[in-house]
Amino acid sequence: MKKKIEDINKELDSFAPSNPDEVEQFRINMLGKKGQITLLLSDFRDVPSEEKKEIGQLINLLKNKAIDLIESSKISFKNSSSKGETIDLSLQQEIIEMGSRHPISLIKNELFTIFQKLGFSLSEGPEIEDDWHVFSALNFPKEHPARDMQDTFFIEKSPDILLRTHTSSVQVRTMESQKLPIRVICPGRVFRNEAISARAHCIFHQVEGLYIDKGVSFADLKQTLLFFSRELFGHDTNIRLRPSFFPFTEPSAEMDVSCKLCGGKGCSVCKHTGWLEILGCGMVDPTVLELNNIDSKQYSGYAFGMGLERIAMLKYGVKDLRLYFENDIRFLNIFKNYL
């Protein structure tokens, strides 16, 4: 056994590889399944008991020597290879293109800046809500179609847990938690079970506003919306209010702005009317105030809500709101120059 160890040790001392392949072959010859050192370990069981300690130490030293020799040879060839590499300083630097904010984020930030001038603060809430905050506290009757599964996404067919259909649920949470007066805007993503088209989607974004104080009137609402429209679309923008109905406001109205895409002449986006509906609004129904523990005899308020995709369509001239959800880099690059 000692003679075999001496012979392998001499072979290690004389090892001088000329390339990485020789190093790998040497490793297999020494440490592979049928390698010389591996076979020594297999034969170690036949060594007499009185010699096992000495022979075992010699084999371990031999194995460690082989491992160190192989590793040092690998490193040597690796370093010599890297030294041969050169850097071409004349190569053009790779240009990393800057991205941009999504148009929905741009519009949301712009709206917040406008309403901040009027004293509105920002309020947000959960996307998964309960029936009370989405429907009941907003005076939706039990038979209202919005409560049906064909209009609303319920969680595991639960009648009480759902994906919010509007950010009015945040208004309810604000009325529950904040002291009067209240003046907030509530942006967020909402969900409705609708067919996807150029003008509608099952996922979209809203911004809703709520103002409650003593002596708030419909005239306050009209002036707020006029100021908002002209700040966003330009001072030549006109608005009109049409009577409507919502369970949580009375009286209620829908607001149109003069179409900026066609200059009021009529196009496919405004359905050739020259007007584009952008939001619903109205005075907060006294029933809603009472449901949220606010004295309707002392306080009044107004509320409004708008879809950000519709606003962005008008602001940026986008004619298909599906583009907002497709992550097409060609579309998103259009907004690089917007802050």
pLDDT attached to residue 59? 79
Find how far residue 118's CA is from the centre of its chain: 29
Is 92 a member of any domain? no
Same domain, 195 and 70: no
In a shared domain, residues 112 and 75:
no
Cα atoms in the Cβ-side hemisphere of radius 13 Å centred on 288 = 29
**pLDDT tens, the chain, 339 aa long:** 777 888 887 888 888 888 888 888 888 888 888 888 888 777 777 777 777 778 778 878 888 888 888 888 888 877 765 555 566 667 677 777 777 889 999 999 999 999 999 999 999 999 999 989 999 999 888 877 766 666 788 887 667 888 999 999 999 999 999 999 999 999 999 998 888 877 778 888 999 999 999 999 999 999 999 999 999 988 888 999 999 999 999 999 999 998 877 777 777 767 788 888 889 999 999 999 999 999 999 999 999 999 998 888 878 878 788 888 888 888 888 888 775
| Residue 72 and residue 108 share a domain | no
Residue 58 sits in the same domain as residue 153: no
Q: What CATH number is associated with residue 107?
A: 3.30.930.10
Evaluate whether 206 touches 307 at the Cβ level (below 8 Å). Answer: yes
Do 76 and 177 belong to one domain? no
For residues 53 and 187, state if they share a domain.
Answer: no
Domain contains 90? no
Token duo for residue 179: 């002291």
What is the number of other CB atoms lying within 10 angstroms of the CB of residue 126?
Answer: 12
Q: Read off the pTM.
A: 0.66
On whether both 220 and 277 belong to a single domain, the answer is: yes
Inside any domain, residue 157: yes
Domain that holds residue 45: 2-83
Q: Do 233 and 261 form a contact (C-beta atoms < 8 A)? A: no
Domain match, 276 and 165 both: yes
Q: Is residue 45 part of a domain?
A: yes
For 190, phi and psi rounded to 5 degrees? Answer: -130, 165
| Predicted local confidence at residue 110, as pLDDT | 92
The encoded tokens of residue 318 equal 């986008």
Classify residue 91: in a domain, yes or no. no
The verdict on residue 231 lying in a domain is yes
218 and 147 assigned to the same domain: yes
Asked if 23 and 74 count as a contact pair (C-beta separation under 8 A), the reply is: yes
Tally of domains within the chain: 2
Q: What pLDDT, on a 0 to 100 scale, did the predictor assign at position 172?
A: 95
CA 137 – CA 125 distance, rounded (Å): 15
Q: Are residues 196 and 279 in the same domain?
A: yes
22 & 171 share domain: no
